[in-house]
Amino acid sequence: MASKRKLRGDEAANSAPAVAVKEHREPLADIEMKAEILAGLIKGSKHFIVFTGAGTSTSAGIPDFRGPDGNWTLKAQGRPRTTHANTLSAVPTQAHMALVELQNRGVLKYLVSQNCDGLHGRSGIEAQNISELHGNNTREVCKSCGKEYIRDYRVSGSQPDHNDHRTGRRCVCGGILLDTIINFGEGLPEKELQLARDHANKADLCLVLGSSVSVTPACTIPEAVASTKNAKLVICNLQPTALDDDCNLRIFTEADILMTKVMEKLNYAIPPFELRRKLVRIETPVEDMHNITFKGLDADGTTPLSFIKAAGVEGCRRFARAEPFSLTLRRHLQPGHGELKLTIELFGHYDEPYLEIAHEYMGDEIVLYSLRYNPLVGEWDANQKEVESGMERLFDR
């Protein structure tokens, strides 16, 4: 059995035994029966929350910590990891997408994650619905004003001193940007932890997916639910966990298998993964010239997201290759005369092709595009609409 004593993050990294604790998989008939029970609990819940760990992302090719090939297991064996997962091109799993559907239906009220891979956000979980307790390797925050930025590249690791957190970039306000990764021995982000605690206190059902719930203080979230009268704790993990004796339902299987079964019982389809972004096009006539600027936002339209690698417009020899993605045509454009062909190059983590947009200039304008890309189809779907009032402030025109 797993130790009842909880480990601090720095202890946890050195605590994995060289021989991983045996993983256990229940017979499918038992999983079916338990999925039915869990579906019933979800249907009857008023405030359902989910707590995810590394086990939610292993089928996306991202290794866990304590499994047979886990990072800490290999460390305990003195073996280096020879392959490194690229979290930027990892495709969210069935479990990730099931959680997105539950969120969109208003069933899932809050998600607390220990994962730094950013897959919950990319899969479609909205920023206000998640606490990423250990940070996110694509999110950086301004030290001065608190403004957040999401990047289509890893924001950490550029500094020799790992605990420095400075990414080398700056905010629009001039403040220095810090990565959000929580290193061993560092405290958890206060706001994220408090939100997670508030939801744990309200929760009448908490599902743990792919976590050994052994690292403090993150594990205090499911623990709080376990100690609340009438609230139910359900744990799905392949290895034993520290809360096995305190939960109401224990399921030994992969997160994908359980969530696929639960969604079947609920009669909800698991949606396919789509990369969703927002692109803003800002046009400014300047005397006898014409300026076009592009900015990226996340799917919520709330946070700047750097997914543009280069931007070009037909008739302009130069490609803009850095922020701000701004291009100048050396001619005056008459509204309603002449089509512009725009090309946006993306980072291509999902082999997404160039985004090509043809449009007719209709006067000084700001246009917002909702972009969707399904990697299986390989094409962009770009819906265009006039920007809502008040959104201008988001992109610091």
The distance of closest approach from Cβ of residue 300 to Zn ion in the complex, given in angstroms and rounded to an integer, is 19
Within positions 141 to 160, which residues make up the interface with Zn ion, using CB under 5 A?
Answer: 142, 144-145, 147
Q: Are strands 139-142 and 275-286 parallel, antiparallel or unpaired?
A: unpaired
134 is an active site residue: yes
Q: Between 171 and 258, whose beta carbon lies closer to Zn ion?
A: 171
Residue whose CB is less far from Zn ion, 92 or 304: 304
Which secondary structure element, helix H or strand E, spans residue 346, and what is its range? Answer: strand 339-346
The torsion angles phi and psi of 24, rounded to 5 degrees, stand at -125, 135
Query: What's the rounded Cα separation, in Å, for the pair 100 and 380?
Result: 21
Is residue 61 at the binding interface for Zn ion, with CB under 5 A as the rule? no
Nearest-approach distance from CB 177 to Zn ion, in angstroms:
8
Residues with Cβ within 8 Å of 289's Cβ and at least 6 positions away in sequence, in order, are 328, 329, 330, 331, 332
Residue 171 assigned as binding residue: yes
Residues forming a β-bridge with 234: 207, 249
Stretch that binds Zn ion, among 172-180, 252-260, 312-320, 329-337 (CB under 5 A): 172-180
Alpha-carbon separation of residue 67 from 12, 123, 260 (angstroms): 13, 24, 22
Contact code string over 349-378 relative to Zn ion, x by CB under 5 A = ------------------------------
3-state secondary structure 47-82: CEEEEECHHHCHHHCCCCCCCCCCHHHHHHCCCCCC
Residue 396 interacts with Zn ion (CB under 5 A)?
no
- Among 49, 97, 125, 171, interactor with Zn ion by CB under 5 A: 171
Residue 176 CB, shortest distance to Zn ion, in Å, is: 9
Q: d(Cα 171, Cα 145) in Å, to the nearest integer?
A: 9
Binding string, 184-223, against Zn ion, x = CB under 5 A?
----------------------------------------
Which position among 24, 47, 96, 134 bears the catalytic label?
A: 134
- Residue 308's contacts (CB-CB under 8 Å, 6 or more residues apart) are 279, 294, 296, 325, 344, 345, 346
Judged by CB under 5 A, the chain residues 262 through 321 that form the site for Zn ion are: none
**What residues make contact with Zn ion under the rule CB under 5 A?**
142, 144-145, 147, 171, 173, 175
Feature table: binding site for Zn(2+): 142, 145, 171, 173
- Annotated active-site positions, please? 134
Feature table: binding site: 142, 145, 171, 173
